[in-house]
Amino acid sequence: MANNSNLGAAKAAKNDEFYTQYADIQKEVNAYLEYNPDTFRNKTVLLPCDDPEWSNFTRFFAQNFERLGLRRLISTSYAVESKKYKNYQPTLFEMENPLFDIDKTRIKGKIFELTRDTNGNGRIDIDDLEWHYLEGDGDFRSKEVCQLRDEADIIVTNPPFSLFREFISWILEAEKQFLILGNFNAVHYKEVFPLIQQNKIWIGNKSFGGGMDMIMPKDIFDPSKVKKYYTDERGNIIQNIMGVIWFTNIEHGRRHEFLKLMSKKDNIRFGNNKTLKERGYVHYDNFDAIDVPAIECIPSDHDGILGVPDAFLGKYCPEQFEIIGLGAGDLAKEIGITKNYRGRTDLSYTDPVSGKSACPYSRILIRKKQ
């Protein structure tokens, strides 16, 4: 458990220091392979912001190097002295290696590479990883990691969430394919939403809800602050982190599945949504669109604009719908949403039952393709 002196650091690091389970990486990657078995074939995959000695990203891609048909796997780590949270012990793997350097280990990043069968056992796998210290601390923005990015075809990681905007711009400026974790709030970022709208990036295969069970570093973890957690068979502390989703620009099948829709009348009559049953489809007061309280209520017989909850993005099929814009903030202003009864650029409607004005929670505006 964290002692008092490192609690502050632990809090600051909380958003950046949680780790991904092997099964979650495997499940997600398999969805891309199902769509296209050659997704990773002959590709160089870079795993930046990783901790390759024990990261499940490195473990997964190294163990599946041959199955995926990779050309090269590169994984880099960030020096402990540069991290927000500095409680660190070098691993036995590092200490037992002739390259181990007590000074470098705290201030330098590391690079792990897999390209060939180094031990002559006829396979390329995790035992063939070769490593050395980087020149710098392994910051993804450093010149040497940028160079590795430029050499890569696909970038996969769980980046520090505090630097998510910067991280995704870093990938996109190099025009790389990617599969990364992030918080779903990022869909609202002005750097991210327009790209989703233009179908340049999208949500991964994993469903939007439920968050993700992540591995928490033991030193940072404070059980008194967490309602639910468990310890897995390896002794890792696992906590569910709400809102964690995959962002990608790699094709997967779920993204091309059409949502099955019913007419407005049938949704009200046979659907289970209480709000819809009570008040029907209401038109916004400050924008020409109707409000849809849940994804399952999206009607088949409305050709105009629909305001739907964010979770829609987890079901979005670009052949079925186009994304018109966001329901609140600067991006809403751009599509002509005017100030509501609270003086904010945010969708609002008059509830037909109570006669009162109301704002739905966080809407994305979409339209059915003809």
CA distances 289 to 304, 365, 369, Å, are 7, 8, 15
**Cα torsion 114, 50, 168, 306: sign:** positive
Give the nearest distance from C-beta 65 to ligand SAM in angstroms: 18
Report the 10 Å Cβ neighbour count for 339: 12
Tell how many helices (H) and how many strands (E) occur in the chain: 12, 17
Does position 108 interact with ligand SAM (CB under 6 A)? The reply is: no
Give the nearest distance from C-beta 45 to ligand SAM in angstroms: 13
Residue window 44-83: x/- pattern of binding to ligand SAM, with contact defined by CB under 6 A: -----xxx---xxx--------------------x----x
Query: Which residue in the set 14, 53, 70, 138 belongs to the binding site for ligand SAM (CB under 6 A)?
Result: 138
Give the nearest distance from C-beta 304 to ligand SAM in angstroms: 41
Does position 24 interact with ligand SAM (CB under 6 A)? The reply is: no
Does position 287 interact with ligand SAM (CB under 6 A)? The reply is: no
148/305 with CB nearer ligand SAM = 148
DSSP percent split of the chain into helix, strand, coil, nearest 5? 30, 25, 45
CA distances 268 to 1, 46, 142, 296, 299, Å, are 52, 49, 55, 11, 10
| Amino acid, res. 111 | I
51/128 with CB nearer ligand SAM = 51
Query: Which residue in the set 24, 53, 113, 139 belongs to the binding site for ligand SAM (CB under 6 A)?
Result: 139
Does position 20 interact with ligand SAM (CB under 6 A)? The reply is: yes
Does position 88 interact with ligand SAM (CB under 6 A)? The reply is: no
Q: How far apart are CA 284 and CA 273, in angstroms?
A: 19
Eight-class DSSP state of 344: S
Query: Which residue in the set 52, 160, 182, 360 belongs to the binding site for ligand SAM (CB under 6 A)?
Result: 160
CB 245 within 8 A of CB 201: no
Footprint on this chain of ligand SAM (rule: CB under 6 A): 16-20, 49-51, 55-57, 78, 83, 138-140, 157-160, 163
